[in-house]
């Protein structure tokens, strides 16, 4: 039994330095893309493009943006040369209407996008566009936008969020193998349990999880992309978690996959 519906995935992308590494996380990202049907295009919602209003990259060949500092020069020389997609830009505008979507050439593939894709799809042969995070919107609004984009899954488009369930830079200890901070572990567990139970209200209302939420999500930008993946969920999707660990004490690397059961079977 097969289905033409694409999965939707949220990648816990962690530090940009992942672009310099080959490890179990990068191998898993690659395996995820290899296991699914080849997407016609990819719509990426990254934690690193915040706007007022909704923007979308509209170039035929979006540039690779090196939106970080104090990293090796080799990082600044990396490129992800995937093409854009005018057709997908137009389709996103149709689905989000009557809210306006503004095509722009002032952005490109930021590190939330390209550091994942250069590991998951190094061939860079699938058209990619990025959708911005409208910082004026509530978590419920972001979830609703994911819901409005859900038809793309039946049109061969991979809806891909990248961020982190827990992203607390103030708690980071840059050593491999350090234990997770208790608040990060508690919050991560609560959110993953809600996702597995299809309890969208808990994820949307993550701030109600109290001090654990406040410390795990000091700013919402890395959490919001998860809401697009969950908004695009179908009732018969199978949930799976990969790279399910907390890095550097307070960065959650969990990847969440929602896969049509016919594919998952």
The pLDDT value recorded for residue 1 is 36
Mean pLDDT of the chain: 96
* pLDDT at residue number 4: 87
- CA-based max dimension of the chain: 49
For residue range 212-249, what is the model confidence (pLDDT) as tens digits? 999 999 999 999 999 999 999 999 999 999 999 999 99
* 206 CB-side CA count, 13 A: 33
Contact between 232 and 224 (Cβ < 8 Å):
no
Tokens found for residue 184: 């990060």
State the average pLDDT over residues 60-84.
93
Q: Please name which of 243, 246, 247 lies closest in space to residue 185, comparing C-alpha atoms.
A: 246
Structural domains present in the chain: 8-264 (3.40.830.10)
> Pairing between strand 8-12 and 157-163?
parallel
**How high is the pLDDT of residue 206?**
98
Burial class (CB in 10 A: 0-12, 13-18, 19+), 124: middle
Q: Is the pLDDT of residue 59 over 70?
A: yes
pTM: 0.96
Spatial distance between the Cα atoms of 53 and 50, rounded to a whole number of angstroms: 9
Q: What is the mean pLDDT of residues 51-60?
A: 98
71/93 Cα distance (integer angstroms): 36
Q: Give the C-alpha separation, 165 to 212, whole Å.
A: 12
Q: How far apart are CA 16 and CA 65, in angstroms?
A: 12
pLDDT tens by residue, 4-49: 899 999 999 989 999 999 999 999 999 999 999 999 999 999 999 9
Token pair of 100, please?
């306006």
What are the phi and psi torsion angles at 233 (to 5°)?
-70, 145
Most confident region among 1-10, 49-58, 172-181 by mean pLDDT: 49-58
Per DSSP, the residues of 14-63 read --GGGGG--SHHHHHHHHHHHHSPPPSEEEEEEEEEEESSEEEE--SSPP
Alpha-helical (H) ranges within the chain are: 24-35, 73-76, 86-96, 111-120, 139-149, 182-196, 200-204, 211-216, 224-231, 261-264
| Distance linking the first and last C-alpha atoms of the chain | 8
- In this prediction, residues 98-111 reach a mean pLDDT of 97
**Could you tell me which of 126, 82, 132, 93 has the C-alpha nearest to residue 112?**
132
Flag whether pLDDT at 261 surpasses 80: yes
């Amino acid at each position: 039994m097969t289905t033409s519906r694409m999965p939707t995935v949220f990648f816990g992308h962690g530090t940009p330095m992942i672009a310099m590494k080959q490890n179990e996380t990068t191998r898993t990202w690659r395996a995820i893309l290899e296991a699914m049907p080849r997407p016609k295009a990819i719509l990426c919602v990254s934690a690193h493009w915040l706007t007022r209003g909704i923007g979308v990259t509209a170039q035929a060949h979006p540039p690779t943006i090196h939106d970080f500092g104090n990293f090796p020069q080799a990082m600044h020389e990396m490129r992800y040369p995937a093409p854009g997609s005018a057709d997908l830009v137009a389709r996103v505008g149709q689905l989000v209407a009557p809210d306006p979507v503004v095509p722009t050439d002032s952005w490109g593939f930021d590190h939330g996008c390209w550091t994942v894709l250069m590991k998951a799809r190094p061939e860079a042969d699938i058209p990619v566009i990025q959708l911005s995070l409208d910082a004026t919107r509530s978590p419920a609004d972001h979830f609703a936008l994911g819901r409005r984009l859900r038809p793309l899954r039946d049109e061969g488009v991979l809806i891909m969020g990248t961020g982190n369930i827990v992203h607390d830079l103030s708690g980071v200890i840059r050593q491999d193998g350090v234990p997770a901070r208790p608040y990060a572990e508690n919050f991560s567990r609560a959110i993953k349990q809600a996702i597995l139970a299809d309890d969208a209200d808990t994820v949307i209302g993550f701030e109600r999880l109290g001090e654990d939420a406040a410390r795990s999500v000091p700013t919402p930008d890395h959490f919001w992309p998860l809401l697009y993946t969950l908004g695009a969920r179908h009732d018969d999707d199978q949930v799976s978690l990969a790279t399910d660990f907390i890095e550097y004490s307070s960065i959650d690397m969990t990847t969440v996959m929602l896969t049509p059961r016919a594919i998952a079977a």
